[in-house]
Amino acid sequence: MVERSLLSEEEIRRALARIAHQVLEQSRGAEDVVLIGIQRRGVQMARRLAENLERFEGGKVEVGSLDPRLYRDDPEVAAGKPLLPTEIPFSVEGRRVILVDDVLYTGRTVRAAMDALRDFGRPSSIQVAVLIDRGHRELPIRADYVGKNIPTARDEDVRVLVSEVDGRDAVLIRRGAEVRQGR
C-alpha cells in the first residue's frame, strides 16, 4: 500500500478559510447560517469553519453534529461500528443549514444526512461544504463549497486526519488500500 500526502496542515487551514469567505460572499453574511458536521471528521471541519466565519464576520455561528448512518441505504458500510452522538442544540426550522463533511465521494453519506436532518425540522435551505471532493458520484449530489477537487481512482482511499482525533492535520491518499465504500 502506497500512501502520499495531498494537503498539509497549512493547506487545510487555507482551504477552510476560502470556504468561509465563499459562504459569506454568497449569503451576504453569516446571519441564519448554522453548520452541521457529519460525524466524525466533518464535525471538526464544521467547528473550524465556524471559527473562520466568526473571525471574518463577527457574531456566533452555531455548530451541531449528525451521525446519519441509520439513514443510509447501504447499511453494510456502518456495520459493527458504534453510533456517534447527534447533537443539534438549536432549531434548524427556517434556517440556512450547511452540512459539512471531510470527503465527498459517492454522495450516499450526504443523502443520508439530509434524510436525518428532516427529523429536526425544515430548514429554509440545505447546502453542502466539503474539504475534499474526490468524484465518483452514485447519486445526484454536489457540494456548494469545496476546499479542493481531487480526482481519484476507485481503488484509492482519501483520508482526512484532524489533530482533534488523529493528533495531526493532513489529507492522505492511499492506493491499493481496502477502499471504504459509500462516503
Instruction: Write down all domains in the chain, each with its CATH number in brackets.
Output: 8-74+82-156 (3.40.50.2020)
Distance CA 174, CA 150 (A): 13
pLDDT tens for 4-50 read 999 999 999 999 999 999 999 998 888 899 999 999 899 999 999 99
Distance CA 7, CA 118 (A): 34
* Amino acid identity for residue 109 in this structure: T
Q: How far is CA 175 from the centre of its chain?
A: 22
Are the CB atoms for 158 and 181 separated by under 8 Å?
Answer: no
Phi, psi angle pair for 117, to nearest 5°: -60, -30
148 CB-contact burial (10 Å; exposed 0-12 / middle 13-18 / buried 19+): middle
pLDDT tens for 81-136 read 777 889 999 999 999 999 999 999 999 999 999 999 999 999 999 999 999 999 99
Nearest Cα to Cα of residue 37 among 137, 135, 160: 160
Q: Residue 166: its pLDDT value, please?
A: 95
**DSSP element (H, E) containing 114:** helix 108-117
Are the CB atoms for 160 and 6 separated by under 8 Å?
Answer: no
Distance CA 120, CA 60 (A): 21
Distance CA 76, CA 73 (A): 9
